[in-house]
Structures are given as C-alpha cells and as structure tokens.
Amino acid sequence: MNNLGTDVIVVGAGPTGLTLANELALADVDVVVLERLPERTGLSKALNLQPRTAEMLELRGLLDGVEERSFTTVRDGHFAMIPVVYDGWDTRFPFQLGIPQAKVEEFLEEQLAAQGTKVLRGSEVLTFVQDKDSVSVRYRTDSGEAQLYAKFLVGCDGARSVVRKGLGVDFPGVDGEGFGVVADVLFDKAPDAAQKQWRTMRNIGEPTGATTFKGLIPLGEPGLYRFIYGDRASRPADMRSGISHDEVRTALLDSYGDTATVSEIRWASRFSDTARQAAHYRDGRVLLAGDAAHIHFPAGGQGLNLGVQDAMNLGWKLAATVRGWADDDLLDTYEAERHPVGAQVLHNVAAQLGLTPRSHESRALRALFGDLAALPEVNRYLSGMVSGLGIRYPTYGTAHPALGARLNDQHVLTETGPLRPSTLFRTGDFVLLTTTAAHTDAARSQATRLTTQLVADLPWPSTEAVLYRPDGYACWVAPTPTR
Ligand SMILES: Cc1cc2nc3c(=O)[nH]c(=O)nc-3n(C[C@H](O)[C@H](O)[C@H](O)COP(=O)(O)OP(=O)(O)OC[C@H]3O[C@@H](n4cnc5c(N)ncnc54)[C@H](O)[C@@H]3O)c2cc1C
C-alpha cells in the first residue's frame, strides 16, 4: 500500500476518540486525531465514571490520574432516579467517580501527548472515500482544505457524526418528545434542599410532576452545583436554541423557591430524549464508536462510559488488524460485541423513562419497581446493567464460567507474593494466568503479544489457565485434564 499518511485516523477528541487513540498509540499504531474545535471547551458535561470504566482505566494504570482530578466518590448509581448499589459485584471499585467530562478529556489528551501523539485541532472532517486498501479523508483547517490517507477511519465525532452520515448507515430509533437542561450554577446561598456533598444518588434528583424532573448535584467547589431540570412531554420549538440565564433562574425559582441566591451561571445546555443507534458499526475500513454510534437520554449516567468502553473493545482489535497480527474477522467482533451492549443501554434508558410517574397507574408501577429494586438480586441486575459490570461477551461460548467474563482483579498468589492481575495489562498485551507453564505455547497461538504469569491457583474449579484479552475479558481457558 503506497502513499498512506497514517495507519488510523480518529475523528473527534471527545472521551471516545481520545481513549481509542491512546489504545492505538500504546500498540505502536500510527494514529492521527482530527478535531474540529480549535481548543477544548472545558465544559463539564458528563459527571461520572462507572465502576467498569474505572476497572478498564486501572488496566492501563490510568485510574490514579483520573482520581486525582475527581471531586468525589458516589457509593451508588441509579435507575430512573431509584438508587442502586454495586455491593453484589466483585469489583475493587464499587462506586462512581465524580469527575467532569472536561477533566477526563484533559487527562486523556495529556496521556496521548505523552505517547507522542497530538490532537490536530481546528481540523474539521468534511468527506471521505474508501476503497479496498485505504480511506482518504478531506478536512478543513484555518489554512484551507487538506487530505490525508489512512488504512482505517474511525468516527468518534459525536451525535451528529459526519462519518456516520458519510457512510449512509441507517440510524433508526425514536425522536424524543421532551427535553432536559443542565446548568452549572454558583450560588451565594444554595437552596435549603441542596446536599453539601455528592456521596449518594439518594435525594439528588426527583420527579416534580407527571412528566417534569429536577436535580441538584454539588460539584466539589463551594457553592457550585449542577442543576438539572426538564420535561418529558414537551420541548421548545428549536432544541438547538441557546438557553438564557433568565430561563435557568426562573426554573431554579420554580424548583427550589426563593431561598437561594445565584452568583453566576457558568454554562447551560439543553439535551434531548431522542434515542437512536447506528444499524452497523463497521463498513469496510470505516468504523463508528461512542455517540457517533448511539445517542440516548442521559439517564443513569451511561453515555460517556459506553463510548470509552466501545473504544477499549475496538482499540486492541484495530491495532492487531493494522499490525497484521489478526484475521479481518477479529474486527467484525467489535460490532458483534458492542452493538448489543449499545442496544441494551437504549433499552434500559427507555425503561427508565417508562417509569416517569405520568399517571395513577405509572405512579403505582414506579413505587412497586422501587420495592423490587431493593431486593439484592434485582439491585445487582440493575447496577450491573447501568455500570457495565454485567457485560459478558458470548463470543467464546458459555461452556466455562470465565469465558467472556471480565477480570475482577482480586489478588492472585505468585512465587513473589500476592499480585493484582490488572498490573499485567499496562502494555496492552494479552495476559495468561496459569498454574503451569505447559499452557504458554497454546496461549501464544491465540495471542501474538502475550504476558504470562504463573499463579498458585485460579478462582475457578478445575481450571489450569485463563487467557485475557487486552481489554480484560477472558477469551480462552484450559480445564484441568481428567485422569
Ligand atoms: C447534558 C448531558 C449530560 C450527560 N451526562 C452524562 C453522565 O453523567 N454520564 C455519562 O456517562 N454520560 C453523560 N452524557 C453523555 C456524554 O456526554 C456523551 O456520551 C459523550 O460526550 C460521548 O463522547 P464521544 O467522545 O463519543 O462524543 P463527543 O463527546 O460528542 O465528542 C465528539 C468530538 O468530535 C468532534 N467533532 C464533531 N464533528 C467533527 C468533524 N466533522 N471533524 C472533526 N471533529 C469533529 C467534536 O467537536 C467533539 O470534540 C451526558 C450528555 C449530556 C448531553
């Protein structure tokens, strides 16, 4: 293949694109990130990292850096504003990290720069053309239009994705009827009802009427809160119109009365309850990830997390394909694994919206659902769904309980003492945990880049070895031979 500018072009430096670019750079893949905006917006947007996202960042040794930038830990999540805890899951991180999206992006971009890859800002992708060997991308910069070739193109360019539209892939779903607003408000005097610290989802937000809702989340800085409000049943004629500070002040007054005094409204944005998912995540050499592939109402705090987890799934597969370590089929497993996960998120968001107390009957349903959610098994099911902890990929069958399941990162005993298996994933290689060196060759036939660790035992009966993919899901096991 001649005249290729790079291996992979990633469009968009949001959390999805930056995670993907980091994964590709880690595998020595040449990657260019094209970002339309000349500089980061600094807008807080999403506020949470779910436990499964924390586990994945820990695999790469990135969690400490994210924690340093976070402002709180929240001991539960929620489903339709009904709190759910993570106690039923074997995880080291049974909490949400409270961190503004802007801080996550800043950190990921710094990591990328440390790997020698810069985001090309002020570069807006206009069109692309693919053939059997390459993709050619045309983009606009301050100094005019430019063109770049690559082996693969990944659209991480958000809800209005130019890449998705360019592919012409279907984007089926439902148009929303309502709207929500988020505003970061600095109070001189916060509403009496406001919590001082964000430690739980309890009493953070609530329905205020048949279709309306409100919430106040303390953001770690004295007096600073995320104010959320909206209506599920009506919306402004122009959803893209800006929001005046007067509108936010009026909504605050309606929601919390006149006991509060506002010092400053830092930013405000409207969001929609439209839900759509791309019919396909791959067409030849072009792929979609994050909001470019799926959009939904931000119920449960899932969107950013879903995008980061898409990127962790795609990164090592795309790297292996570009480096010639994998058959083309491997790349197809990205859509096969992640499309159902995205569909499931849209499904659970619709179910959460279905619990809006619109009528006498739905109020009764919501109350009953709240009782059910308190049952440990139901609670575990719901928290596994919104956090990503419940994901298990059926790609490898279900004959063994480890297959397709995530690494839970409990200590394993090695000849030098106890070890956290997550520390073996820093280089982005496959990891073999085995009680005998005899399995190393067999594992190597499945994984070109392999880290092997001898352990005293494994947490599954009659199992001598488990092979994990770079994103921490088990893909091969060696049962103990029967004598
Ligand atoms: C109000 C609100 C609250 C939310 N709260 C949460 C929450 O609490 N938890 C959660 O998990 N999620 C939440 N989300 C969802 C979360 O913000 C998104 O899912 C997340 O931003 C998706 O990341 P992304 O990288 O896929 O896309 P984006 O963040 O949209 O990034 C796309 C990037 O691509 C760039 N781009 C676009 N077009 C082009 C082009 N043609 N050329 C070059 N660059 C381009 C954009 O400038 C942007 O930087 C919330 C969303 C909203 C709206």
Q: How many CA atoms lie within 13 A of 351 on its CB side?
A: 14
Q: Is 166 in the pocket of ligand 1 (CB under 6 A)?
A: no
Cβ atoms of 302 and 15 closer than 8 Å: no
The pLDDT of residue 2? 39
Q: Which residues is 6 bridged to in the sheet?
A: 150
Buried b (16+ CB within 10 A) or exposed e, 351-377: ebbebbbbeeeeeeebeebeeebeeee
Task: Report the residue among 50, 56, 167, 291 best suited for mutation to probe ligand 1: largest number of ligand atoms under 8 A from its CB.
Answer: 291
The pLDDT of residue 483? 67
Cα-based angle 233, 237, 242 (whole degrees, multiple of 5): 105
Q: Is 105 in the pocket of ligand 1 (CB under 6 A)?
A: no
DSSP code string of 226-279: EEEEEESS---S-TTS---HHHHHHHHHHHHGGG-EEEEEEEEEEEE--EEE-S
Nearest to 217 by CA among 335, 379, 98, 85: 98
Cβ atoms of 297 and 270 closer than 8 Å: no
Q: Is 294 in the pocket of ligand 1 (CB under 6 A)?
A: no
Cβ atoms of 311 and 20 closer than 8 Å: yes
Q: Which atom of ligand 1 is nearest to the CA of 49?
A: 11
The pLDDT of residue 238? 83
Cβ atoms of 5 and 149 closer than 8 Å: yes
Q: Find the 443 Cα to ligand 1 centroid distance in Å.
A: 38
Cα-based angle 83, 353, 373 (whole degrees, multiple of 5): 30
84, 220, 344, 405 from 262: Cα distances, Å: 32, 17, 39, 48
**Cα gap 315→19, rounded to integer Å:** 8
Q: Is 100 in the pocket of ligand 1 (CB under 6 A)?
A: no
The pLDDT of residue 4? 60
**Where does 52-178 show beta strands of DSSP type E?**
72-74, 76-79, 82-85, 96-98, 119-121, 124-130, 135-141, 144-155, 173-174
How many residues does this entry show for the chain? 483
Nearest CA to ligand 1 atom 41: 125
Q: Which atom of ligand 1 is nearest to the CA of 182?
A: 1
The 10 Å Cβ neighbour count of residue 186 is 16
Q: Find the 249 Cα to ligand 1 centroid distance in Å.
A: 26
**Cα gap 105→19, rounded to integer Å:** 9
**Domains of the chain listed by start with CATH number:** 6-47+100-173+275-351 (3.50.50.60), 179-272 (3.30.70.2450), 396-479 (3.40.30.120)
Q: How far apart are the first and last CA of the chain?
A: 52
The pLDDT of residue 470? 98
Look up residue 193 and give its two tokens: 């009802």
Kindly give the confidence (pLDDT) of every residue in the chain, 483 residues in length, as a single tens digit, with 9 standing for 90 and above. 334 699 999 999 999 999 999 999 999 999 999 999 999 988 889 999 999 999 999 999 999 999 999 999 999 999 999 999 999 999 999 999 999 999 999 999 999 999 999 999 999 999 999 999 999 999 999 999 999 999 999 999 999 999 999 999 999 999 989 999 999 999 999 999 899 999 999 988 888 888 899 999 999 999 999 999 999 888 888 888 889 999 999 999 999 998 899 999 999 999 999 999 999 999 999 999 999 999 999 999 999 999 999 999 999 999 999 999 998 899 999 999 999 999 999 999 999 999 988 899 999 999 999 999 999 999 999 999 999 999 999 999 888 999 999 999 999 999 999 999 999 999 999 999 999 998 888 888 878 799 999 999 998 989 999 999 999 999 999 998 876
**Cα gap 56→69, rounded to integer Å:** 17
State how beta strands 144-155 and 286-288 pair: parallel
**Cα gap 146→143, rounded to integer Å:** 9
Nearest CA to ligand 1 atom 27: 158
Nearest CA to ligand 1 atom 26: 290
Q: Which residues is 421 bridged to in the sheet?
A: none
